[in-house]
Amino acid sequence: MKMRKRPNLLLTGTPGVGKTTLGKELAQRTGLNYVNIGDLAQEGQLYDGYDEEYQCPILDEDRVVDELDEKMVEGGVIVDYHGCDLFPERWFHIIFVLRTDNTQLYTRLESRGYTGKKLQDNIQCEIFQTIYEEAMEAYSQEIVHQLPSNTPEDMERNLEQIVQWIEQWMKDHN
């Protein structure tokens, strides 16, 4: 029996925009596999040192890509990460950049314990559309989409849109 082809998605955006909540719910509704890069790196200790300024481990991007490559070739994976240009272009069928209003983002990040430079840099990252621009440069522009992620209604609308997109993709490719 032939395996049904399933798409790979990237959910990206500044920390605090709702990638993880959206990704887990999407996996629940679609049966796709959810991979949080932060969790994957922690489980496999895929690090290359520690960043004292931001108080966090430095991701070993090559090892992360090696770790995921086989799974990505099989398809049906939702990847969640706040960066995007480390992943090969061939991996993804569509990319969603979540965007959040700065005042809301500030509150969300503060509640996670972000302070000082780490907090300011993440807010600036959102203001200057850094992740969106990174995605537009790293991937074909036709597959990069911005989604608002401010309210529970936005989340529900995004879920419905993405689920519809996945269903359509599977009809078109099977």
- Count of domains forming the chain: 1
φ, ψ of residue 85 in degrees (nearest 5): -75, 0
Does residue 86 form part of some domain? yes
Query: Domain limits at 98?
Result: 9-173
pLDDT for residue 99 is more than 80: yes
Whether 1 is covered by a domain: the verdict is no
Q: What mean pLDDT do residues 38-49 have?
A: 97
Confidence of residue 54 (pLDDT cuts 50, 70, 90): confident
Say if 2 falls within a structural domain.
no
5 annotated binding-site participant:
no
pLDDT, residue 4, reads 66
Q: Does 171 belong to an annotated binding site?
A: no
DSSP 103-115: HHHHHHHHHTT--
Q: Which pLDDT score is estimated for 55?
A: 86
Check the annotation: does 16 bind a ligand.
yes
Residue 20 annotated as lining a ligand binding site: yes
Within a domain: 3: no
Is 17 part of any domain? yes
Looking only at the bridges linking them, the beta strands covering 9-12 and 94-99 are parallel
Q: Per the domain annotation, does 80 fall within a domain?
A: yes
CA neighbours closer than 13 Å in the CB half-sphere of residue 129: 9
Tell whether 18 is in a known binding site.
yes
Residue 118 has pLDDT above 90, yes or no: yes
Q: What CATH number did the domain enclosing 143 receive?
A: 3.40.50.300
Close Cβ partners of 66 (under 8 Å, ≥ 6 residues apart): none
